[in-house]
Structure 1
């Protein structure tokens, strides 16, 4: 075991010390397409969500603790570390500073910002109120009636959102809402609970982080975000001019496992190059071959070329 660790340490040191080959050398090695297998290249996706917390500063919580805008912005902000853990990109809408009369312009600006940031998903985060009607509780998830992808995300929210009374979580459509017809990407608006109901308000305020974690997980479920990646080998030895096959197994958040949904790279292309998991030994030495998921998870294999 000590000898193996010493060998790995020595190889890593050699890899770090080795100078990278010229562009011509790398192109020559990588261009030997006849040696590589025909395993298809996996295009590593990127994924970004736009977070649009309510801009309604004029809607007070019934306990006097602040506005809908304040509390929903706290939820959106608390989502950020969970999105980062999943490797999901995000853009957070700026705080509302204008009057109620400027609300539509605010939403127009947010939709434009989501498009400029190339977001794949638009999530509006609100709390609800019955105004002068009878007090009620629960979560309502709005989706545009003409979007199958938005309905799919709405169902994920309905199934996985953590409001304690699952029977009070419902789906609805209201295409007249600005944040229903303006965004062009997949989008939903979630009314997390009722801010004119003392029990719902207490639940929101004591579960801000848990609500954020739940919403971030729903975003990850919508994109089938990878949560782990493993290589079938951790160390291999090949001769110069010969090849070997490496395989990666990517586990998605829904539990499904897929082979080779990764990009591939070599830390030292003078020693070995890799194409879609097929490794070609170039010259004596050691290098690390890396498989990387679209959200930044990696697995490595130490390759020794003799």
Structure 2
């Protein structure tokens, strides 16, 4: 298991810390008008290949939060979101949201419109991704004939998510819920891909998480369409057959996979510290993606 050295979450008055993940800290709100709801805080931590990396990316938590909020608004007519309020404690203002507690569904809902990453590696081995046969001759960055639903297991912290077939999702959550997750994931991707393309960005793929209310309603939760959960490429510079200029964590992934890092993704040792230049390039790409998508400074 990778060395996940997650810093201790700060104490917040009136709230109980419940969990820390690779990037987010989760609290239960115990007092005030939102008592009983959850407070989700985005840190500046950054992860890749199931490792927490050092140092963090300055301002990343605020960018992720603002971008997710923008997308929740853009998708509200397709699926309800879990955000209740942005009135949060001063200590985490700008990088936290109040959200409703949900029964989270144990599936990573991934939509792919382009072939890259783990999907490309699986395609090169089998000619398919998550049991979906694809045309021959595709390369890194190829646009797929149509977007596909390529779910993954929701791994424990420190373990790797693994691509699975649709039938495996059915076995986990049942036929009706599996079909609804596939429908919602592909609808969200189609909307987001169009909006991003209008702004000069290709949304290559994205990972979504859904939860269920007590009445059975499926709700879009966690982060949505951020550089941490999606691959954003420059539409102008897109060229299949090579690594694409990226607005997301591929800046970090590519450095970790390069000889310059001196590290291998199969190494049992944690990755080395990120160079200042990689940190700044990542920060600027996150900020640029936010600016291009939302029009905000």
* Normalised-by-shorter TM-score class: under 0.3
- TM (norm. structure 2) is 0.25
- TM (norm. structure 1) is 0.24
